[in-house]
Structure 1
Amino acid sequence: MARKVKKKMPGIRVFVAFLLKVGIAAFVYKSIIIPGYQHIFEKEYDDKTSSYSSLKITPDPSVSTSSDKLNSPNAILIRLIDHTILMQKNSEEKIYPASLTKMMTAIVAIENLPDLKEEIKLTNSTFQGLYEADASMAGFRPGEQVMAIDLLYGVMLPSGAECCIALSDQIAGSEQNFVKIMNQKAADLGMDNTHFENATGLQNKNHYTTVKDLAILLSYALQNDTFREIFTSSRYFTQPTNKHPGGITFYSTMFEDLNNQNIIDGEILGGKTGYTDEAGLCLASLAKVGKQEYILISAGAKGDHYSEQYNITDALAVYNNIRK
């Protein structure tokens, strides 16, 4: 019996030694290896986000339209594949973005929503001040329970301010807290001349950006499949809700303003309009000409909802003058 116990002791020692080695290895992995990988990940993330802020300003003969002929005092045209600027006009001048703000609202919401099918309840406070400010609305009502994905389409197609507030409250607890996330995202992307004060684009002197910064934002956001799907949709049918048993049909303001016009040897794939008295007529659009995709951001055109849509006129002129 003593002989058997003696044989077991070395085995126990080996087992204990093995556990110690595992513990030491785990500690080393946690304290050295994991931070190392985290550093690499952070570098890769920095490289990815910085690529959107390092747009190359390169003369390119592909565009024959002079920027001086545009109605918009601020504009920038980007070839999406390599982020090369093909045409620009006062692209780093401060502008008011109006509802082009909602591109940031949408991408931040998409990236922070765990479930796009989650139901979100709109309350009376959701609508507070929006009607008085003459904000664009999607058509939802207080007490309505709406899926997050439907709110996102409501943000982008009919430019619904109540959808922006509902998403802000759900994600960050308040619009003010949500705007902090928007500004952090802008900083991460290198949008150095941008500051947001709200999620809707309502006029505020401290709510500003540049068309170049908006080009950085849109080129980034279009990498997200959900954002791209929404951005390129001409209409959308929401799910039935407790207030709208038949759902609501949304129509893209850009496609409505486009009014079946299109470009030669190409197609305007999607876009977002914006307008306030101070911002003028604005447009962020995506088009395919030949085999390439292009982004055009324009802002500040004279006119209003009842005049000729000079932001659309400019987009057609620029895209039609791209030579493949």
Structure 2
Amino acid sequence: MMVISLLFPMNVQADQVVADVAAPHAILMEVSTGTVLMEKAADEKVHPASVTKIMTMLLIMEALEQGKIALNDTVTVSEYAASMGGSQVYLEPYETQTVETLLKCVAVASANDAAVALAEHISGSEGDFVKKMNQKAAELGMKNTHFVNCCGLDDDAHLTTARDVAVMSREILKNHPQIHEYCTIWMENIVHTTARGDFEFGLSNTNKLIKQYEYATGLKTGYTSVAGFCVSASAKKDNIELVAVIMGGADSKSRFQDAITLLNSGFACCSLYQDTDPVPLPELPVKGGVADTVTLKYAGTFSYVFTDGTNLNQIERTMELTEEIQAPLEKGSEVGRLVYRIGGTEIGNTKILTEQAVEQAGFSDHLFHTVHSFLL
């Protein structure tokens, strides 16, 4: 088992920390568990500006993982993508770039034209890509979010909340950590390949926390005159990963300071418990199967975040396991759980699953076992 406690205790109350946040909307979430540590008007609908691109990047990463696209794919920029205003890298119609280069343009420079070019490459049109964005938002339980475009340009119907931004941020940070490779690039040059020839263009990270905050790992900034200054700021210290979302900040400097205030307070009050050495699992007897037993596995590693100074050594583990199971048995069948408690109160559990399928034994199987037992 691994217990990670930070060196300094929580000495600032969450209410006071939230009061110190200047922005009207904010939330702090621990990434591994999704525990919300602090929040301020986190469910009020707001314009997200380019923080929208977190969902865009999430769908890009999923498409890469599923093999629908590849980093070295060549993307031809459409006239529509090249026409995007706002933050851009000045792609030209019919210019070609790789998926990876365009992803860097989105993650580092918050480029609207690159975001639309990738959306079209994945879904054929920005409209169809936005449908996928809203479908994913629904899957993640982002009840107060509706996307109209993939880059965050202002629209009366393009809305989200600080909480929903934290949810989609957690999803990409937890399941696609390679996004850090792009979000932490400070400066890099790309090469425009156009009918006029090749020329370099410099990317500069819009997230100044990458240089200003030693634990920063990402994730995305945003600004429009309607949305104000926004940021979803991820950071990691001593294996504790947090994301602070600030929406509607008055200026760029204050949004970053608000994020630092939340992150520092979170690191000060968090203790993370991870059971990296769970109770050994026995083989489970199987009745009426071609095999007499089946091996077991845990569904995952249990983790839990405490913010109240709890002594993590007081956590008790109890295995609840079916004594015998009847064939046929599918692989991955749930047969029990490992339960974690403090003072008799359950704080969570990890499912116990079968590692193999076991078919039901037929007459010939029973005959074989009878003869085999007789010969022994």
TM-score normalised by structure 2 residue count: 0.62
Following TM superposition, by how much is the alpha carbon of 1:61 offset from its aligned partner in structure 2, in angstroms? 5.0
Describe the shift of the 1:226–1:292 C-alpha distance in structure 2 as closer, same or farther (beyond 3 A).
Answer: closer
* 2:81 is equivalent to residue 117 of structure 1: no
Describe the shift of the 1:240–1:77 C-alpha distance in structure 2 as closer, same or farther (beyond 3 A).
Answer: same
Instruction: Judge conservation of contact 1:161–1:200 (CA < 8 Å) in 2.
Output: yes
Following TM superposition, by how much is the alpha carbon of 1:106 offset from its aligned partner in structure 2, in angstroms? 1.3
1:187 to 138, 154, 170: 138
Following TM superposition, by how much is the alpha carbon of 1:259 offset from its aligned partner in structure 2, in angstroms? 8.2
CA distance in 2, matches of 1:160, 1:94: 24
* 2:225 is equivalent to residue 277 of structure 1: yes
Following TM superposition, by how much is the alpha carbon of 1:178 offset from its aligned partner in structure 2, in angstroms? 0.8
Percent identical pairs in the alignment equals 32
Following TM superposition, by how much is the alpha carbon of 1:62 offset from its aligned partner in structure 2, in angstroms? 7.2
> What corresponds to 2:253 in structure 1?
309
Instruction: Judge conservation of contact 2:218–2:233 (CA < 8 Å) in 1.
Output: yes
Following TM superposition, by how much is the alpha carbon of 1:240 offset from its aligned partner in structure 2, in angstroms? 6.4
> What corresponds to 1:165 in structure 2?
116
| Secondary structure of 2:234 counterpart | strand
Describe the shift of the 1:259–1:152 C-alpha distance in structure 2 as closer, same or farther (beyond 3 A).
Answer: closer
| Secondary structure of 2:130 counterpart | helix
Instruction: Judge conservation of contact 2:109–2:206 (CA < 8 Å) in 1.
Output: yes
Q: What is the number of residues matched between the two proteins? A: 252
Greater strand share, 1 or 2?
2
Instruction: Judge conservation of contact 2:71–2:99 (CA < 8 Å) in 1.
Output: yes
* 2:234 is equivalent to residue 286 of structure 1: yes
| Secondary structure of 2:215 counterpart | strand
Following TM superposition, by how much is the alpha carbon of 1:317 offset from its aligned partner in structure 2, in angstroms? 2.0
Task: Tell me which amino acid in the other structure corresponds to 1:311.
Answer: R
Q: Aligned-pair RMSD on alpha carbons?
A: 2.2
Instruction: Judge conservation of contact 2:192–2:198 (CA < 8 Å) in 1.
Output: yes
CA distance in 2, matches of 1:105, 1:125: 17
Instruction: Judge conservation of contact 1:63–1:318 (CA < 8 Å) in 2.
Output: no
* 2:185 is equivalent to residue 241 of structure 1: no
Task: Tell me which amino acid in the other structure corresponds to 1:107.
Answer: L
Residues 195-252 of structure 1, C-alpha deviations (whole Å, 9 max, x = no match): 0000110001101111111111011111214323222332344366346735433221
Task: Tell me which amino acid in the other structure corresponds to 1:283.
Answer: V
CA distance in 1, matches of 2:11, 2:185: 28
Instruction: Judge conservation of contact 2:82–2:91 (CA < 8 Å) in 1.
Output: no
Greater helix share, 1 or 2?
1
| Secondary structure of 2:121 counterpart | helix
Instruction: Judge conservation of contact 2:50–2:153 (CA < 8 Å) in 1.
Output: yes
Residues 88-111 of structure 1, C-alpha deviations (whole Å, 9 max, x = no match): 001111111100000111111232
| Secondary structure of 1:309 counterpart | helix
Residues 177-207 of structure 1, C-alpha deviations (whole Å, 9 max, x = no match): 1100100111111111110000110001101
1:232 to 159, 169, 184: 184
Describe the shift of the 1:269–1:63 C-alpha distance in structure 2 as closer, same or farther (beyond 3 A).
Answer: farther
CA distance in 2, matches of 1:244, 1:316: 43
Task: Tell me which amino acid in the other structure corresponds to 1:159.
Answer: S
Instruction: Judge conservation of contact 1:234–1:270 (CA < 8 Å) in 2.
Output: no
Instruction: Judge conservation of contact 2:17–2:261 (CA < 8 Å) in 1.
Output: no
CA distance in 2, matches of 1:138, 1:309: 24
Task: Tell me which amino acid in the other structure corresponds to 1:201.
Answer: G
Task: Tell me which amino acid in the other structure corresponds to 1:298.
Answer: I
| Secondary structure of 1:241 counterpart | strand
CA distance in 2, matches of 1:125, 1:69: 43
TM-score normalised by structure 1 residue count: 0.72
